[in-house]
Structure 1
């Protein structure tokens, strides 16, 4: 029997609004902080299947969410290509700088990610009934931005200049990332993932023709390659903070499109929901604030997107200072929303 949230991703309007939250397993949960304090570092958690499984399932033990998302990180891909990776407390990730694709070692790529697939299998074995498991990757443009800059929190000047001045060299890096991303998604699904989300976190760093070349084309290649292997597994695209024109250009065969909070749900209902499931898009800041404004906004999002396939989420990840009680209230609000009967 198809799970409710999977039905929605596959383009069917469900009886209730299913939901999950980006970064639903994270620092806002005291049980996560307790595990992290003992683990001895972020990558120790990511590559330890027992720990990563525990963290993945933590939010489902607290809240009636409809899916778990694998606890991992988008930068395990360049790490598995042979680049040094470290997560510095309070500073974010530090990664080897790469501008030459020949430095990327594809041999043994999936072997180095075997602990992640072990986590997927372990989570799937203990997943509560009716809940789905989401795998994920970062999109090539977003992952390459870390590789070219060597860290996060940048202004994208380096990667934009590199793509402009050395387009062939940059294309070779993108091509490697496309190939290994398809393989990685395939492995996640074979291990037990029931849907996958592709995070294009820095989609707004380019627009126009550059958006089409460096964002749309690589993501389209990933979706096409993945769908050849798993035609019935939903793919969720998340081109974060992309402008509406670029969102329309992001028509690449995804089953669902995740929205940032700056996209009006009414616009999405008119321009996107007629062909794909829409996922989103409460501002994380409202979840942090909690209370009546959060609940009213969540209801309005549900109302605006009630006419078609819809999965409730945030416009970005849960902010670490968020009170877990606000998440509980949000889940109650969304699952309590009464979907209207549509004319036959």
Structure 2
């Protein structure tokens, strides 16, 4: 085996709907600006992209939250916009403004010329995956990720973040043929990108459909869900160590379409805080073909006092309901997470309170 044996497989077993001794927990953006050690490393790197494109820095910040908290998974430190950057759109990060593209996709000529990028342009990501996997030394699994085809398209057309998605939705409604062309290229690029992460050592992969929830009903199915399907259908099923690789899909604001998402070729569905976990379990988490569920506490709970955090953790665990405990079969399982990424202003000690509460309370629910 190219990597050390895994010492804590609780997260992976939950992804496969297998019984676990407790509910595993990790946090979206767990390696990030709320940690002073991250801020110090970024200062040394000089910029966000200097951090993300340097294998040693990316490894260092990926492992920083694991030094503080007994989390059950690590997630690659990178950005969802690396793929369109490799397509030549000219990614930069402006202080206080977030990501920006120098060459957005807004006309027929630009979209017609778009191609799946040479994955060698993203070699720094794959080298980071392998480096992080080695540095973890089997402590916990490593999650790789990408933005969804639709979410990437939002940034690629708008040229930056947006409050109203006017440009990308205008293109969608006025020239659906161009939008389908853009999304098809994105889907094939995302699939190649995630497969390369799997080859490099990722033990699970996650698709962030961060802006799927801004679409109208019907448009979501045609312009987001269909292309997430296209990505998933191309993903290889075994990792670098020969073990199966679970697939996670998270659509922020996607609770309305959970029944549509039940048919996705993934093992885990991530949920934001707007849907009750018990209802989600009833819709998509039970029976053959059911999904493991991931989520879904409001990140702003982490600004409350530790005793309130513990109470809100209890609500989430109780909403999911009785955990699956039979080791001889599969059943409904839950991976605890936030309903979106952690805020940069979160007190680190409050994260410790959350992780401890999840582990302790979920063990108690299982009588352990």
| Distance of 1:220 and 1:54 partners within structure 2 | 33
Measured after TM superposition, the shift of residue 340 of structure 1 is: 3.9
| Distance of 1:197 and 1:143 partners within structure 2 | 14
In the other structure, the counterpart of 2:295 is 280
In the other structure, the counterpart of 1:210 is 219
In the other structure, the counterpart of 2:96 is 90
1:67-119 CA-partner distances (Å, limit 9, x unpaired) = 110000010010011110100010001112113323424352x1110011000
Measured after TM superposition, the shift of residue 33 of structure 1 is: 0.4
CA contact (8 A) 1:55 1:71 kept: yes
1:214-239 CA-partner distances (Å, limit 9, x unpaired) = 11100011111114676931001001
SS of the equivalent of 2:89 reads coil
Structure 1 position 324 matched with structure 2 position 339: no
CA contact (8 A) 1:82 1:104 kept: no
Match of 1:43 among 25, 46, 49: 49
Structure 1 position 302 matched with structure 2 position 337: no
CA contact (8 A) 1:69 1:133 kept: yes
In the other structure, the counterpart of 1:120 is 129
Q: How many residues align?
A: 340
Measured after TM superposition, the shift of residue 207 of structure 1 is: 2.7
| Distance of 1:12 and 1:287 partners within structure 2 | 29
Change beyond 3 A, Cα 1:341–1:318? closer
Normalization by structure 2: what TM-score?
Answer: 0.89
1:170-191 CA-partner distances (Å, limit 9, x unpaired) = 1111010011111000000110
1:125-175 CA-partner distances (Å, limit 9, x unpaired) = 011534010000000110000011000133112211211110111111101
| Distance of 1:290 and 1:79 partners within structure 2 | 40
CA contact (8 A) 1:196 1:236 kept: yes
Q: Any unmatched runs of 5+ in structure 1?
A: none
Measured after TM superposition, the shift of residue 247 of structure 1 is: 2.0
Q: How do 1:1-344 and structure 2 match up within 5 A? A: 3-95=9-101, 96-99=103-106, 100-108=110-118, 110-227=119-236, 232-244=244-256, 246-251=257-262, 252-274=264-286, 275-305=290-320, 306-307=322-323, 308-337=332-361, 338=363, 340-341=365-366
CA contact (8 A) 2:25 2:337 kept: yes
CA contact (8 A) 1:19 1:66 kept: yes
SS of the equivalent of 1:208 reads coil
In the other structure, the counterpart of 2:328 is none
Question: What RMSD over aligned residues (CA atoms) do the two structures have, in Å?
Answer: 1.7
